[in-house]
Amino acid sequence: MNYFINPKRKINRSLKTIIFYYLKYPFVNLLCSLGFMNYDYSFVNGDKKRIKIGKGVSTMNTLFNTVCGNIEIGDNTIFGHDCMVLTGRHRFLNGMRAKLVPDSEHFKETPEFGYDIVIGNGCFIASGVIILAPVTIGNNVLIGAGSVVTSNIPDNCFIAGVPAKIVKYHLN
């Protein structure tokens, strides 16, 4: 997993960066865990180049998995704490992971593309939400805490549940 603060900012390996990671970061992490401050950071499993983040997006320690597809997030979308946006997937043959089946070298266990996630503009994704690919979430969608999104969601609605279903439509 890769750690990043702002995907648009290039991190250099200067003395200032080293001091931040080894001295400031543990202190900031302690203050965040005690509730004294809030720090907007995220983790990426896979290639960071496969994520497109719009303007005004707050990710709040969201886990992004880009192994099997691209992730696109529209402008002014807000994530609550501990969300997961997952494109990763494993393939199975005869009830076993593809890698464990004899003579299955031609069959890749994880696909490299085809499981994209697109999140629209102005969405609010509450804490603990899991978004599983492939899925498209419309503009101005509110997702309730702890929901698991497994299918496409239209614009201007509130969804919740496991799996997430439309609870109510709302106007702009």
Of 32-41, 48-57, 121-130, the range with the lowest mean pLDDT is 32-41
**pLDDT bracket for residue 48 (50, 70, 90):** confident
**pLDDT bracket for residue 1 (50, 70, 90):** very low
Domains and CATH numbers, the chain: 40-169 (2.160.10.10)
CA 169 to chain centre: 24
Stated length of the chain = 172
Residue 32 is given by DSSP the state H
Who has greater pLDDT, 78 or 93? 78
pTM over the 0.85 mark: no
> Rounded distance, CA 78 to CA 123, Å?
6
**Rg (alpha carbons) of the chain, rounded to whole number:** 18
> Rounded distance, CA 66 to CA 161, Å?
24
Q: Does position 16 have pLDDT exceeding 60, yes or no?
A: no
Residue-level pLDDT at 146: 94
